[in-house]
Amino acid sequence: MDKTSTSPAETVIGKGGETHQISGGDVPTLTTQQGVPVSDDQNSLRIGERGPTALEDFHFREKIFHFDHERIPERVVHARGYGAHGFFENYESLSDITTADLFQRAGERTPTFVRFSTVAGNKGSADLARDVRGFATKFYTKEGNWDLVGNNIPVFFIQDAIKFPDLVHAVKQEPDRAFPQAQTAHDNFWDFASLMPESTHMLMWIMSDRAIPRSFRFMEGFGVHTFRLVNSTGKSTFVKFHWKPKLGLQSVVWDEAVKINGADPDFHRRDLWNSIQSGNYPEWELGLQLFDEKFADSFPFDVLDATKIIPEEDVPIRKVGRLVLDRMVDNFFAETEQVAFCTQNVIPGIDFSNDPLLQGRNFSYLDTQLKRLGSPNFTHIPINAPKCPFHTLQQDGHMAMMNPKGRVNYEPNSWNGAGGGGPRESPTKGFHSYPAEEDGKKLRVRSERFADHYSQARQFYMSQTPTEQGHVADSFIFELSKVENQCIRARMVSNLMNVDGVLAKKIAQGLGLTDMPEASKPAKQPVTDLKPSKPLSIIENGPQNFRGRKIGALISDGVDQKLVDTLRQALEAEGAMLEIVAPMVGGAKSNSGTLIKAEQKLGGGPSVLYDAVAILAGKGSEQTLAKHPAARDFVSDAFTHLKFIAYTEAAKPLFEKSGIMSDLDEGCVSLNDASAVSSFVKQCAALRFWKRESVVKM
């Protein structure tokens, strides 16, 4: 590539407040692939500062086009995915706010397909990477397919889709060495993030436990963007979509995530498979945040900004239906791999806002599916085809599996009758875009209301419990410790000074920075008195029961048969599961002489695979487990990961060998007899014994 033109070294401050430090000599001027100099690589061209993206923006289209076609056959992002079929059941008619058919009748069920995924990793990466999780839902409605393409985090890194290729290039493995994969702990990502203050809010989320969920079944989903609902009179209501898991929120701790990836890199896949195959169908409720133009104008942040949320305290969530996943795919490739989600796929009664990130996604996704699936006829693939009657005039093309009959492939035409003119447009039934009035100059500019990058990041941090705040700090320290360039570390800490000084200092100390950097200059002074929002904390939104969880019971010969039976019955009554782990996969003999079969062999079934554990050593085999290295790891990991532990008297030698006997706490429950089982299972509803964390950190 020729260096056709240069510009002097400079510090560039973007229109959204982002700072780009360029140092050392002349640098080439950025151009398009046609050699046209680029004036602004931060903002797409739009009509007015809050208006829709203009199709004539050739630089944006070239950039997205190239990005969409860079890799085959994997998805560029969300390559590692897993899907299941189910249904959406509507609670009540929503005809007052939308004409969308699936929301018109109480109790109506709409077929769905859901694909969960990680974002950054390739197809072969592990499930428990620290990452955003995709939560994409395809509704097969009576008026066509509606795709709600969301994530398990309600905000995103960037405000404008023109920066999406840069974000993904930065987060992916570095191009000269092809590592690290499925992780953000490297220079390129943090260089980009530290130069993009708008990413700060999202960084707080991915450095929290939200980025290492225990299961797909225990995480929320969000539509991220602001959409519109339109009723029969043409009235528009803004909406944000939320999925709330009925089993409550739950994540793992970082050391646990690392070990799960080693023990079972398919942990999330296996969990969803086992849950559905056993009839324990996961459920979520669909919630809507509904608001009008007046609220949007009064809200202190722009509702079109994908880096912002609307706290539930400001706009309560209205739960309107439930999603149930009850059937796994018949063939992974045919369905989960070939399913094509497009944000542009909406139905009458649902429409878009001018969110610039959403506008770009609407352009990008269709182009991406064409590249991945090889033909504009990807809609003929059964997983993508509507389940309602559909009629088009489109014919031919690679892999056409169905073509309209007759002589006509154009419109308008004058042919009538059977096999004649084909389908006609319908002004009454057809989709109508909401007639929003738009005006303004064509500009590459970002609204001033997009300029506050730190206030909600601070609100998120202040909404976490002290335990969760500690995890956020630890995550930043770990990630930035993998960054080789110390200037990047310091720049990131300087940005975090605008979120919380104590957090930034803790991270600086953890990184061993010799000098505390000054806070970076924000594009807009952050608001420091936003109230904490309880729904932003995982711990504050726990399930209050143990339903859907699993206890791993490590047994040895002589185990009390009645104790095992009582524990199993108590868990089944709670809607939970018991899995037996033994030194040999054949199992162990109980005190009644019965062989208790094991689902896992000790060493192949570590405690990281379970939500709580029971060490049911039998009398006469006290030293059997104590001498087993994998047994010592089993109990010490469970203790370190703050899990509730039940144990029999014969398990104490194992605790002594594992070095935790002197540290046993209220989260460790002695099962002297079967009567103690019930209280132990109830205690497990808290999921973690967080008080122990100060001990294990020491």
DSSP of 237-283: EEEEEEEEETT---B--HHHHHHHHHH-TTHHHHHHHHHHHTT---E
The answer to whether the beta carbons of residues 220 and 152 sit under 8 Å apart is yes
**Tokens 């509606």, residue located:** 146
Q: What are phi and psi of 340, to 5 degrees?
A: -120, 115
The answer to whether the beta carbons of residues 182 and 118 sit under 8 Å apart is yes
Q: What does the block give as tokens for 128?
A: 């428990």
Is residue 78 annotated as part of the catalytic site, yes or no? yes
Close Cβ partners of 439 (under 8 Å, ≥ 6 residues apart):
47, 48, 51
Length of the chain: 698
The one catalytic residue among 43, 90, 151, 345: 151
Using H for helix, E for strand and C for coil, what is the string for 649-681? Answer: HHHHHHHHHHCCHHHCCCCEEECCCHHHHHHHH
Is residue 69 annotated as part of the catalytic site, yes or no? no
Sign of CA dihedral 658, 661, 662, 663: positive
Q: How far apart (Å, rounded) are the C-alpha atoms in residues 378 and 280?
A: 33
Residue type, 291: F
Long-range CB pairs of 510-517, under 8 A, 24+ apart, other chains included: 510/473, 510/474, 510/476, 510/477, 510/481, 511/477, 511/480, 511/481, 513/486, 513/489, 517/490, 517/491, 517/493
Instruction: Write down the H helix ranges in 109-186.
Output: 164-171
Pairing of strands 236-245, 221-222: antiparallel
Three-class secondary structure of residue 398 per DSSP: coil
Upper half-sphere CA count for residue 253 (Cβ side, 13 Å): 25
Going by the DSSP 8-state scheme, the letter that residue 185 receives in this structure is -
- To 10 degrees, what angle do helices 58-68 and 356-373 make? 40
The one catalytic residue among 78, 186, 225, 641: 78
Q: Is the peptide bond before 73 cis (omega within 30 degrees of 0)?
A: yes
Close Cβ partners of 641 (under 8 Å, ≥ 6 residues apart):
252, 253, 255, 256, 607, 608, 688
Just list the catalytic residues. 78, 151
